[in-house]
Amino acid sequence: MAKDHWTSDRYDSAASFVPKLTSKVISYLDVQPNDRILDIGCGDGVLTTQIAQSATSGKVLGLDASESFISTARDKYGSPNCNFQHLDCTKLDQCPEAVDGSWDKVFSNAAMHWILRKPDIRSSFFQNVNKALKSGGTFVFEMGGSGNVAEVQAAATAALIHAGVPLEKAREANPWFFPSAEHMSALLSDAGFEVQVCEHEYRATKLTAETVDKSGGLEGWVKLMCAQFLEVVEEGKRDAAAKEICDVLEEIITRHEDGSKWLGYTRLRAIAKKR
Ligand code: BEZ
């Protein structure tokens, strides 16, 4: 299993805004009281719990590859209709309960761009989601879309090359998959879904103490989110590479008219029905 970069404290400090910008995808999920919902890549369980509070007589199961997240989710949010399980979500079929065809809805927010990084697991991932759902069940998700945080990808790739990492290795270290709506629609159709909505939105996000790093600055965000990039840099050069990423980003993301800082998030959102 891949190294666990996440701890709830670091995530809460650098990215606690992620579950808060979710009104659209939650409206697409349209939770009903009886719903049985599988949440893929549930993180520390904040949003999973909110969903479970609407599925009052149903059931919600949150899955995540980070033991740290699952342990926090269980301690803070477990309830009779909301459970959490540690699972590498590229291998949903290793959890029989997940793929038993009993779920009304499968949901995912801001996780699939990490989960789907490796091209060879994508088609089995979507087939397993399809298998998880009841006939006519719905897969609703939001993730980074094409062009997401392009400035971060460019700054991190350049910093790795400056630290002596070959381009191909820098490319492989990129931990994200940010597909276009067209490509995602094709992946879903191939796995047996009828795609009802697949939309791409540019959602520049203003960095504030809340959206980027409660302790101030970009450093915490870069060290957490770009950990897999930085891991391939020689240890003695790692801090300098992180600093270069921050310095370049500060320059690019700052609006000169008022000094505000914006990251170029794009969102890919979909509603797909099991055929
Ligand atoms: C995202 O949610 O789009 C995202 C967050 C951190 C790093 C990269 C992408």
In a domain, 1, yes or no: no
Q: In the predicted model, what is the mean pLDDT of residues 89-108?
A: 98
User: Is the pLDDT at 161 greater than 70, yes or no?
Assistant: yes
Q: Residues near ligand 1 with C-beta < 6 Å?
A: 18, 110, 113, 144, 148-149, 176, 225, 265
User: Is the pLDDT at 210 greater than 90, yes or no?
Assistant: no
Give pLDDT tens digits for 133-151: 999 999 999 999 999 999 9
User: pLDDT band for position 259 (50/70/90)?
Assistant: very high
In a domain, 138, yes or no: yes
User: Is the pLDDT at 130 greater than 70, yes or no?
Assistant: yes
User: pLDDT band for position 6 (50/70/90)?
Assistant: low
User: Is the pLDDT at 21 greater than 90, yes or no?
Assistant: no
Distance 144 CA to ligand 1 centre (A): 6
Residue 207 has what pLDDT?
Answer: 87
Q: In the predicted model, what is the mean pLDDT of residues 105-132?
A: 98
Which of the listed residues 176, 253, 263 should we mutate to test ligand 1's pocket, taking the one with most ligand atoms within 8 A of CB? 176
Residue nearest to atom 2 of ligand 1 (CA): 110
User: Is the pLDDT at 213 greater than 70, yes or no?
Assistant: no
Residue nearest to atom 3 of ligand 1 (CA): 144
Give pLDDT tens digits for 35-87: 999 999 999 999 999 999 999 999 999 999 999 999 999 999 989 999 999 99
Q: In the predicted model, what is the mean pLDDT of residues 239-247?
A: 97
Distance 192 CA to ligand 1 centre (A): 27
Residue 219 has what pLDDT?
Answer: 87
| Polymer length of the chain | 275
Average of per-residue pLDDT values in the chain: 93
Which of the listed residues 13, 142, 148 should we mutate to test ligand 1's pocket, taking the one with most ligand atoms within 8 A of CB? 148
User: pLDDT band for position 5 (50/70/90)?
Assistant: confident
Residue 212 has what pLDDT?
Answer: 62
Distance 99 CA to ligand 1 centre (A): 27
H-assigned helices in the chain: 8-15, 23-29, 46-54, 67-77, 112-115, 122-132, 150-162, 167-173, 181-190, 219-225, 227-231, 235-253
Burial of 232 (0-12, 13-18, 19+ CB in 10 A): middle
Q: How far apart are CA 29 and CA 36, in angstroms?
A: 12
In a domain, 84, yes or no: yes
Q: Is 180 helix (H, G, I), strand (E, B) or coil?
A: coil
By the 8 A CB rule, do 187 and 270 touch?
Answer: no
Distance 96 CA to ligand 1 centre (A): 29
In a domain, 2, yes or no: no
Q: In the predicted model, what is the mean pLDDT of residues 91-101?
A: 97
Q: In the predicted model, what is the mean pLDDT of residues 12-24?
A: 68
Residue nearest to atom 1 of ligand 1 (CA): 144
Give pLDDT tens digits for 180-199: 999 999 999 999 999 999 99
CA torsion through residues 11, 269, 263, 246, sign? positive
Residue 8 has what pLDDT?
Answer: 67
The pTM (predicted TM-score) of the whole model is: 0.92
Residue 149 has what pLDDT?
Answer: 97
Residue 188 has what pLDDT?
Answer: 98
In a domain, 106, yes or no: yes
Distance 267 CA to ligand 1 centre (A): 10
Domain that holds residue 18: 8-274
Which of the listed residues 115, 146, 225, 228 should we mutate to test ligand 1's pocket, taking the one with most ligand atoms within 8 A of CB? 225
Give pLDDT tens digits for 215-235: 546 888 899 999 999 999 999
User: Is the pLDDT at 16 greater than 90, yes or no?
Assistant: no
Ligand 1: which atom is nearest the Cα of residue 144? Answer: 3
Q: Above pLDDT 70, what percent of the chain?
A: 91
Residue 3 has what pLDDT?
Answer: 75
Distance 256 CA to ligand 1 centre (A): 24
The CATH number covering residue 89 comes to: 3.40.50.150
Distance 134 CA to ligand 1 centre (A): 30
Number of domains in the chain: 1
Ligand 1: which atom is nearest the Cα of residue 265? Answer: 3
Residue nearest to atom 7 of ligand 1 (CA): 225
Residue 4 has what pLDDT?
Answer: 77
Ligand 1: which atom is nearest the Cα of residue 266? Answer: 3
Burial of 34 (0-12, 13-18, 19+ CB in 10 A): exposed
In a domain, 3, yes or no: no
